[in-house]
Amino acid sequence: MNARSLGFKPGLKTRLYVLVVLVAVAVSGEVARGQSGQRPAAPAAAAAAADPFAGLVFRNIGPATMGGRVDDLAVLESNPAVFYVGTATGGLWKTVNNGTTWDVVFDDLEDAVSIGDIAINPNDANTVWVGSGENNNRQSGSWGNGLYKSTDGGVTWKHMGLPNSKHIARIIVDPIDHDVVYVAALGSLWGRGGDRGVYKTTDGGLTWARILHVDDDTGATELVMDPQNNKVIYAATYQRRRATWGFNGGGPGSAMWKSSDAGRSWTKLTQGVPAGPLGRIGMDVYRANPNILYARIEHATESGTYRSDDAGLTWRKMSNTNPRPMYFSQIRIDPTSDARIYVLGVQLHISDDGGKTFIENGTMHSDHHAMWINPANPNHILDGNDGGLGASYDKGKTWEGIYNLDIGQFYHVTYDMETPFNVCGGLQDNYTWCGPSAVRGRTGIANDQWFQIHGGDGFEAQIDPRDSRIIYAESQDGNISRVDRVSNERKSIRPLPARGEPPLRWNWNTPILLSPHDPNTIYVGANRVFKSTDRGQSWTAISPDLTTATDRDGLSLMGVTGKETTIARNDGVQSYGNIVQLVESPKQAGQLYAGTDDGQVHMTRDGKTWTNITSKFPGLPKNAYVSRLSPSNHEVNVVYASFDNHRNDDMGTYVYASVDGGNNFRSIGEGIPKGHTVTSMTEDPKNPNVLYSGTEFGLFVSPDRGGKWMRIRSNLPTVPIHEIVFHPRDNDMIVATHGRSIWILDDATPLQQYAEAARADAFLFDIRGGMQFNPANDRGFVTNKPFFGKNPTYGVPISYHLSKPQTSVALRIRDGSGTQVREITGNDLRDAQKAGVNRVFWDLRHQPLTAVAGQGQGPGGGGGGGGFGGGGNNGPNVMPGEYRVTLVVDGKDVATKNIRVAGDKDMQMTDAERRTWHDTALGLHELQRVANTAAEAVTTLATHVTAAETLMKTAANVPAAAKTAAAEINTKLADLRRRLGVGQQGGGGGGGGFGGQQGNVRGQIGQVKGQIMGSTSMPTAQQVRIAGEVRDDMMKVVNDANELIAAVPGLYDALGASGAKPAAIKPVGPLPAPR
């Protein structure tokens, strides 16, 4: 309900209203039945069973630094630390601690991602209503499929009907009878009909009656309820329509309405309202005196802020303030002062004189869509905008940005060739940003590690593959720059028409192409294709106008031509008939394909002569927007194309393939659900049979060139997928989402080899190499609030496919000589034995030690101020080189694959130095294994001696020799326990310097091992010396421990209790041979 608070007081007397000179309209009660159905969030186990790729985990690298469009807020008034945030295409978020941390509570719904409105039941905080489909009327906006309801605070959701509403603007839950709910449904932005108007349920959403309906072009965009009388409701209807070519934002259907009988009848409010067609209207009612209302009314000549002091009977214009109402139209009244109002627009407009004058508050990000004012403390305000969420505690004087929501709306993404690689991409109303795909820091990728390279709404970015400091980026409508990321200088290189030529037409999202054959060659598309061979210093037009060149002024929306449109005319669409896709064959220089927003596709084989191939796509509707053209990476005559026709109110799937260079195409979209309009697609760079499609609601893969499609769910949220690219060196899949920032699948080999794997009982995928390094603790203490993008799991991903669940799986890793260095099995694979693709990570280390029972592994082996994160029970890094990984199922070797391990590229060590480091660390690791065995033996011996002493207490005549032997053994055991750190904190190797161990040999071994492992450099002379000393000390420990192991059985013999003798303990050792 866009953060409004009803504050209904049921004990107050109902007010009576006399309606004079108003048109009373009785509305029929159209009942919508059978539209409710259960849509619970899919449990993780069920999702894994249905998704063969559940074992492949994508990582969200963010960023969250620039936020994304927030459409609505719903706050629990009794505890304002609890609130929900609805986003344009990033789902629904919930916080219970004032934004310190968040839960995404809408991810598992398969075809709902855009949030229009949220309402919390004022009598039951666990009951939450959500209307899907944003209420912003933008050309880039998404849509929904009706209403959802949760009765457990957002854990699970049930679909409650109105599936054809597309965009839900408001929800009001009756504060007295919470089974009564009102909904303002706008209907499709791109077409007629559907569920549009005001709806009401009296049975908690089981059935709905349409209680206010104007016509099939008009929906409802506003609902407000009298806070003291739940029978009085105000509504605003809105007539609007968008097309690819433009927008008509008003008509006779737009109006303000009032009902005084809970929606049974309505009166149109006209006194003081501008005459003629209206556009979008926003309203609010003053909480302290519901006779006072404010409205933002859009009109061709009289747009502005209006006020009523008589409960809507009459209105007067207070000022012309009404910024871009098509996109905003939100107005809020301070709950304690009717003179203070907030008008949300590009900036936040604040008035303290009832709307006569306003000041602009530009502290927060621009484009404000949602606001909640704390009724108990109006100093406290929450604001939702295109940059996310802000909070003020002084009535908007100052703001805190809450930048931990990863809801970036990326249009495109690209990469450079640094190690690790960086990604760059443009976002809706949030510039163009670049950031690392991974960092050495353990906490992950911080917001401050991203950097902005271009302004405006960001779109395409291309990075010179030879020099990553040079980036080509753009803002809306073809404003292209060449950016030097080091100096941050931006040089405009936008092509201009020659003198006397007509203006060029640029799309909102202009394509930029760096030739894969020559990075000095750049192509851009307006309505013509331009080429530069000198990085944009000069341009040559290499095509004619490739569009239909339709004059949109002659096209009509809702019966009104573009030329005649007077309200919000073509808002957001600067021109029509322009190129939106431009690609070059990776196999043939100069073979280009261009697609336009008016459905035209052209190709050239020589960069000069163009052929229109639009007619080659069977079943393709006229003027369908070209969403992607993708020439094959493998075969010069293979090209793929997708079209997104939702702008013509057609949610069909249009995906095509050609194998003859574009002369003929066939449809390959069967299997992608209707409604999942395809926004992006690409061919796999390694396997020509594998294709990927991104849709408005998710990611799909085809293993057989489009013969069938499977959805890749895994941990990917339901979100529009706008670009899918692969890093050519690392083989990572990089996914640009339009609502949840950027996601990466490390090593996409399982997708590339899935078809082969699915034919086998068990299959081991090829394994890419990995680089060793020491992750850094570089952030100190980190609190819960900051956002960090996910780093790759350290090590190398090893992936395999099982045709059915297994109970015995192992991975054995051997070096070049055949020596096994690691076995991964048991608990390490407990979640990786399922049917489908499984993935585990080898950390490039030798086999870890088994923790001593009851001892843990100690604080980690960084003692004495040494290494960061070495030691403990971890094994040291293996030597760089070639290794072989074998998949073992039910004790049988299934397959073996090679893997190459590289040393840290940033550490300069000779092979001999690496060998010295490795042998020293591994020798200490094996010494530590013996020390742990000795500690376990000593612990067991202590129980044996205790048992013998118990026998002594019950025996009649205990020989003196037995008592003496027991005392001597206990003395030696106590000494050994001290020397092995048994029962001492940090006994396994951590904490404090060497002196802190006070003769604890096992602790000293762990410490010096940890110090050496904590740095990829030659051990110091002191570390080498101590390594030799602890080996000598450990030799004495082994001898003493074995002496006691041999002595304890004699104690039982001396007691005459040989029958009670415990099982023999194996001798400790021997020590590993020196390396």
Q: How confident is the model at residue 957 (pLDDT cuts 50, 70, 90)?
A: confident
Q: How confident is the model at residue 6 (pLDDT cuts 50, 70, 90)?
A: very low
- Decide if pLDDT at 867 tops 70: no
**pLDDT tens string 120-168:** 999 999 999 999 999 999 999 999 999 999 999 999 999 999 999 999 9
Q: Which amino acid is at 297?
A: I
**pLDDT tens string 798-811:** 999 999 999 999 99
- pLDDT, position 984: 60
Euclidean distance between CA atoms 141 and 189, whole angstroms: 9
**pLDDT tens string 43-88:** 333 444 478 999 999 999 999 999 999 999 999 999 999 999 999 9
Q: What is the mean pLDDT of residues 785-800?
A: 97
- Decide if pLDDT at 11 tops 50: no
Residues contacting residue 104 through CB under 8 Å, at least 6 positions apart: 91, 92, 93, 717
Euclidean distance between CA atoms 103 and 94, whole angstroms: 5
* Cα–Cα nearest to 729, from 414, 423, 418, 520: 418
Q: How confident is the model at residue 997 (pLDDT cuts 50, 70, 90)?
A: low
- pLDDT, position 1051: 87
- pLDDT, position 15: 30
Q: What is the mean pLDDT of residues 678-696?
A: 98
Structural domains for the chain: 23-402 (2.130.10.10), 613-756 (2.130.10.10), 788-902 (2.60.40), 913-1060 (no CATH)
- pLDDT, position 567: 98
- pLDDT, position 412: 98
**pLDDT tens string 379-426:** 999 999 999 999 999 999 999 999 999 999 999 999 999 999 999 999
- Decide if pLDDT at 211 tops 90: yes
Euclidean distance between CA atoms 768 and 784, whole angstroms: 34
* Cα–Cα nearest to 236, from 281, 200, 278, 284: 281
Euclidean distance between CA atoms 13 and 165, whole angstroms: 36
Secondary structure letter of residue 493 according to DSSP: -
Euclidean distance between CA atoms 902 and 770, whole angstroms: 6
Q: How confident is the model at residue 858 (pLDDT cuts 50, 70, 90)?
A: very low
Mean pLDDT is lowest, of 261-275, 813-827, 991-1005, for 991-1005
Strands 699-702 and 691-695: antiparallel
Q: Which residue has the higher pLDDT, 106 or 530?
A: 530
- Decide if pLDDT at 19 tops 80: no
**pLDDT tens string 518-560:** 999 999 999 999 999 999 999 999 999 999 999 999 999 999 9
C-alpha neighbours within 13 Å on the C-beta side of residue 203:
10
Q: Identify the sign of the CA torsion 855, 860, 865, 866.
A: positive
Q: What is the mean pLDDT of residues 616-642?
A: 98
- Decide if pLDDT at 318 tops 90: yes
Q: Are 341 and 287 in contact (CB under 8 A)?
A: no
- pLDDT, position 49: 47
- pLDDT, position 852: 84
- pLDDT, position 621: 98
Euclidean distance between CA atoms 568 and 247, whole angstroms: 7
Element (H or E) spanning 560, and its range?
Answer: strand 560-561
